[in-house]
Amino acid sequence: MVPLRDDNPVTTTPVVVYALISLNVVIFLYELSLGDEALQQFVNTWAVVPAELSCSLPGDVLRSVANLSCPVGVGDMPPQGEWITLVSSQFLHGGLPHLAGNMLFLWIFGNNIEDQLGSLKFLFFYLACGALAGLSQWVIEPASLVPTLGASGAIAGVMGAYIIRFPRAKIMTFVALFVIPVPAYLFLGWWFIQQSFYSYMSIGANADMGAGGVAYWAHAGGFVFGVVLGPLLGLFSQRDGYRGR
């Protein structure tokens, strides 16, 4: 199922959503300009490498639990510290389909959440969900050397907020050569069930981030944190909810 649009109009211009999409596109174009070696170095530096994040923690408890031998010689630690990658990784993508899919979901669901929270709160909400999503994946694979990158964890948080604020909104969805309206609670609920199932199946799998290199725990975690953080930031403070077209 591919979402095309929703029928949930907004009352304000989603400037943060537009800015986030633009920034993601610009950074992706920069990635395309790099050679293979420089691109790998760029990704290793600014994406979340769970083992490097683990090694940046004080103390040796987690390192011994994860069977780590620090320091890990993958990439260079960003000058601001390894924890900044929980934010910077949200603006990196592994290919055009990865970028296009994420930006489509952000464009469809992000404008309504920004409309409800306001631009500044929405920006904080988005980045916080993305960082917490990254931590969700890190908790499962603290010794992984595979970089985790992409906006999907933050966007999953947006989707989590959307399903509780606009459960009856209709999502125009491309399904088997047809475009049909699907209620948000069904579309997003099914998406979350899939991510949760794949997350469970990836436990103990002999591959980092589950099948196909997808960070399912980041998706599921971001969604849950979106459900929690949205109301705390005033998601329901405005009376006008789903209006439809």
Residue of 89, 136, 152, 199 marked catalytic:
152
Helix intervals (H) in 67-183? 85-88, 96-117, 119-140, 152-165
Distance CA 17, CA 20 (A): 5
Alpha carbon of 61 to those of 54, 140, 171: distances in Å? Answer: 10, 16, 46
Q: Is 98 a catalytic residue?
A: no
Q: Which of 225, 54, 197 is nearest to 129 (CA)?
A: 225
Distance CA 100, CA 170 (A): 22
Edge-to-edge strands of the sheet including 2-6?
2-6, 170-175, 178-183
Q: Is 22 a catalytic residue?
A: no
Contact assessment for residue 170 and residue 182, using Cβ atoms and an 8 Å cutoff: yes
Q: Which of 78, 65, 225, 59 is nearest to 147 (CA)?
A: 78
179 alpha carbon, distance to own chain's centre: 26
Sequence length of the chain is: 245
Residue 35, SS3 per DSSP = coil
Residue of 93, 136, 144, 219 marked catalytic:
219
Contact assessment for residue 14 and residue 110, using Cβ atoms and an 8 Å cutoff: yes
**How many CB atoms are closer than 10 A to CB 79?**
7
* Residues acting as catalytic residues: 152, 219
